[in-house]
Each structure stands twice: as C-alpha cells, then as structure tokens.
A and B are shown apart, each in its own frame.
Chain A
Amino acid sequence: MKDDLGYYDYWPYANRPKITWPNGAKLAFWVAPNIEFYELNPPKNPSRAAWPHPYPAIPGYSIRDYGNRVGHMRQMKLLDKYGIRGSISLSTALCTHHPEIIDMCRERDWEFFTHGIYNTRYTYGMTEAQERAMILESMETIERAVGRLPAGYLAPALSHSEVTIDLFAELGGTYTCDLFHDDQPTPISVRSGKRFVSVPYSLELNDTIVYVVNKIEPRRYGQMIKDSFDRLYAEGAASGTVMCIPTHNYQVSCPHRLKAYEEALEHITGHPDVWVTTGREIADYYLAHHYDAAVADIKRGRKE
C-alpha cells in the first residue's frame, strides 16, 4: 500500500489560470444518474460483502430494483422538463437486463459512462489483467449498446485498485469521476502519460451518500444543492466551476424525495450563466481549452 497514488499534484485554488466555459457560462452543471444493477446472489468478494443480510438480502436488493422499475422514469421526466441530458453512470449488465432503459436514454442523447458491469462486483482482489478485462468488457458493452465507447469511468461501488485510473486511461478513457479533490477539472497523471482529467462529480451531493450515509432529510438535501450552486456560481464569475449532482433512482426518485430535488433543479436551471452539459463535454472542452495551461501552471508551482 502507498501513502498516495500520485494522480495529481497539490494545486492551490487561488490564482489558477482562468477557466472559461462556452457562451461565457460561469458554471458547468451536469447530472449523473447512476443506473445500476445489483445482483441478488453475487459471488463473494473476500474484502467486501455485497449485502448486510444473508441470501436473499431482500431489503437491499429490492429497493435498488425499485430504482429501475419505478424511479428511473420519474427522474428522466424531471430531467426532460428542465432540459438536462443525464450522464449515466452505468452498470453495463443493465444493457442486457433492462435494455428499455438504455433505449430511452440513447434516444435523449444522454451520455453513457462506465460504472463497471455490476455494482455487486468489486475491484478488490482483482489482478491487473482481471481489472483491465472487466473495464474493457464494460466499455465494449456500452459501445455495442449505444454506438460509442464511453469517455468516463466511475469504479463499481467506488471500489478501486492502485491502477484503476491508469488502466482506464490506457483503454481509451479521458476522464475519471472517482476523485473528489476539487471543484474544477484537473489534469491527472496516469502512467501512460496520456491526456486525462478528473471531472468533479461530488460525494457530498451524491444522494446515496446524503440519504444512506449522512441520513439527511429530503428538504435539507434540496437546500444543500441550492447553497452549493449559489456559491459555485458566484465563484465561477472569476474562473469557471463545475457542479455535479450524482443521483440514484432508488433514492432521489422516491415519492417523498423528488420534490426537493425538483426545486433544486428549477433553481439551478433558472440562472442565465449555467452551461447545462454532460461529463464528457466538460472533459472534452477542458482538454481542448484549459488542460495545457493547467499543466504548465502546476509545473510552475512545483518549481517555486
């Protein structure tokens, strides 16, 4: 084990090269619905149990199934209403299990990025070759389903190895959602030296972290999203910021929670200088317009 994986250098928020977004937007806003499949009876991983209950772990399994049976349509309707294209963090086995959901998202020109094959298969204990095969299979599944390889990766159930991000870059990816160190995109040093970035995804505003881990009330979650937006929008006048709301249809789409989320989306999309976009578009724009200046500035800072 290492004390740091060396993916990025320390880089102070103050005095960075200015980020501009298309049409003078102050903030790039994206919503990342996790569309996941959890197995009722997954093989055991020695480092992490998939479920807190023995087979059949009905409480955990059934609420996640709720997300696909009920929740997906609710959130999709809301994103349609506010003109937001989702950037899907996809358990790619869902292409086989529930192709109807994939078709609806493809018709809407949503982005698909990979979140592994199942959210009950953890990276822990995989050899580098096994992990590479798992990531590649997930990427190829997306390519088959929607005609384009994914650009982004969020490791399944946030389970990583020391080389997860290196492997994804080598397989052709351009951005990671796994790092929570910044409110702006940042260059990521991968062992292949490829141009690769982190796009802010947010753990703090992730509905599952909010509801399951931090046990926050729905209306307070709505307020947290608005407060977060207000601050990042204000700071974005000086240099462009990124805000992401990562969601799960089995959390945010429950009947008692959707209203607070809708109010937050209404608040955000009601502001003029917001670039409502996808993770991939943020990564591509940053790589084309800001990546080189960022790398030079980081290098300069290191020498001082």
Chain B
Amino acid sequence: MSTQSVTSPHPSVDDGYLEYPSRRYGMDHDRYAWSMLTERKPVTWPDDKKLAVWVNLSLEHFPLNPASSSASKLVKLPGGMTMPYPDLRHYTLRDYGNRIGVYRLLEAFDKASVRPTLAINALLVERYPQLAAMIRERGNEVIAHSWSMDTAHASDLDEVAETELIKRSIDTLTTAFGNAPTGWLSPGKLESPNTPDLIKAAGIAYFCDWVNDDMPYAFHTKHGDLVAMPLSTEIEDRFVVIDNFQSEQSWSEQVMDACDLLLAEANEQGGRILSIPLHAWVMGQPHRIKHVEAALAYVMSKPGVWNATAGEICAAWQAQQRVA
C-alpha cells in the first residue's frame, strides 16, 4: 500500500477527534427521550377532530441600536438591523408590523374564524399600550417571547441575567394581560444552555423552540418537565418568504400541501398539529395578505380541523399522557 504524502491545507486534528463519548442508545444529551412519532400512543382532539391548527403570530420589537444593547454578542437574531446606524429602513419596516400588519392579520383571522396565539416581546406592551389594550380586549392567548428581538438567549448571557430577563418579560406580560403566560418562545428559537431550566422555574408549562417533532413531547429540566410544542420553522412566513426568497403564493401552497398531508396522516395515525407561524411585519404587507387569507380559508374549510391555541393543544395532549 502506498504511503504517498498528503498535501493538506488544514490544521491537524488530534486523536480525540476520533473519539465518540456520547455514542450510546438514544440521544447524545439528556433533555428528552428518543422516540419515533409513529411509535407513540395515538392522540385524539376534542370532538374527534383530526388536525389541530395553531396560527401563531409573533409581535416583535427590534431596537435601532442593537450593537450597544444586545443581551448576547455571540448571535444575531433573524430580522435584526443590518445597515450602519441608524438603520431606519429595517427599524421602521419591523415597526410597520406593530402599526399596520398586526391589524390587517387579525382582521384576516377574524374573517376566517381563526383564533390566533400571539407570541409577544414584552417590551412592546410597554412601548405600545394601545396595542396591548387591544390584545387584552380580544383575549387571545399570549406566549412570552422574551423582552425584545435584541435579547437573544445565548451562552454568553449569564444565569443571573437570564433569570432576570425571563422574570421581567413574564411579569410585564402578566401585568398587561391579567394572567401569566404558560408558553414561551425564545427569540430566533435560540437558547442558552440554561433557558429550559429557567423558564420552567419561572412557571412556564410549554415552549416552542425545538423543531424536532410534529407533536408535543416531554422535555426534561432541573425543575421538572416542560412540554415541547411543535412550532415549525420550515413553513414559517419569514423563513419561506424572506430567507428563502420564495413567493407568497408558494408559501400558501406549502401550507395547503402540509394541511393535506397531515390530515391524511392523522386519519391513519391519530391527531396531528399544523402550526402556521406568522410575523406581523412579514405577512401583514398588502401584497402578502391575500395569500394568508387563501391559506387560512383552505385549511379552515377542511373537515376534521380544530383551530385552537397553543395552550389548548398542549393541554389536550397532556391530558392524554397521564398513566391510567
């Protein structure tokens, strides 16, 4: 066998790079058990519905000065400022969602008889009390979405600061809406190593950061289990239309195709969940709204669809997990 020399431009790796200490049955961490969706007990939804439809609208605030105020220096959140300060184009385009987009979308939801779930940056209710009052009046479920789109939960956020950030966010939303949110969504679905433990300790029951399932599952923390709720990124408006440059029409076709597949699967395998994640500053634009309307009309026309909030779906699932 020849031993000709290898001309590699790469720094060498030591033999530890060929060791695999976490190679074991199941996952390579202890946060949840390995489980294939089809192996689990089938779930039923109220009134024998097949497909729970969770329309999630994120209401976000992106500060103009992220470089000086960011909680994390390690990560950038999607949708943040990209131009030299003051990046008025992105700041105002995001703010558009809270002034115009949210109202346009809520009207579309009402027209389709859809009850949305609202993931809200707590800073918004301080900045825009009229928006908060309108949401309180509507009574939609609110998910805690941290403080702003400048408070990434990442490993350079120390535990004390993250604990305070979570408490401040939840307390502000609780005061604004009269009851404590039971759900959590981290900005950009990014977490520090402590986030699940800290939100559980703060009273959160379910969170929406891990996109590894189409159904809820138990997620272990130091303070007991959270429920991981499946809020898809792959079909999210921002991901499809902004990140992937796909058309609004294509986005709505993708929602329809997902609806068909999940309904068919639910008829064979038990209840499924279709999450439709939206952002006020993305789909609230006048050229996009009709595609939201088309997708919602299609989904809501299907027999077997149960439109519910994340908390309602979570509770219905949880009630079926208790050992008889």
Contact = CB atoms under 8 A, between A and B. Distances in A.
A96 B24 contact: yes
B27 interface: yes
Interface residues of B, number: 68
A93 B23 contact: yes
B22 interface: yes
Contact of B191 (A45, A56, A70, A101): A56
A47 interface: yes
A65 B13 contact: no
Interface string B68-95: 0000001100000000000000000000
B191 A260 contact: no
Contact of B212 (A63, A161, A170): A63
Interface stretch (B31-39, B58-66, B130-138, B312-320): B31-39
Interface string B7-19: 1111111011110
Contacts of A279: none
B13 A69 contact: no
Interface string B35-53: 1111100000000000000
Interface residues of A, number: 63
B251 to A, nearest CB: 9
Interface stretch (B165-173, B256-264, B283-291): B256-264
B39 to A, nearest CB: 8
Given A69-B35, A96-B25, A97-B28, A161 B8 contact: yes
Given A58-B189, A215-B245, A215-B246, A126 B17 contact: yes
A130 interface: yes
A160 to B, nearest CB: 10
A59 B257 contact: no
B154 interface: yes
Contacts of A39: 22, 28
Contacts of B253: 217-219
A99 interface: yes
Interface stretch (A116-124, A172-180, A233-241, A284-292): A116-124
B92 to A, nearest CB: 26
A161 B13 CA distance: 13
21 contacts: A43-B13, A58-B190, A58-B209, A59-B189, A66-B212, A69-B212, A70-B36, A97-B26, A97-B34, A99-B25, A124-B10, A126-B18, A163-B4, A170-B1, A192-B2, A215-B244, A218-B250, A254-B232, A255-B214, A255-B235, A257-B254
Interface string B177-194: 000000000001111010
B159 interface: no
Given A46-B11, A162-B7, 20 more contacts: A66-B211, A66-B212, A66-B213, A68-B36, A69-B34, A69-B35, A73-B37, A96-B24, A97-B25, A126-B13, A127-B12, A130-B13, A162-B8, A215-B243, A215-B244, A218-B250, A219-B250, A255-B258, A257-B254, A260-B257
Nearest to A94: B23
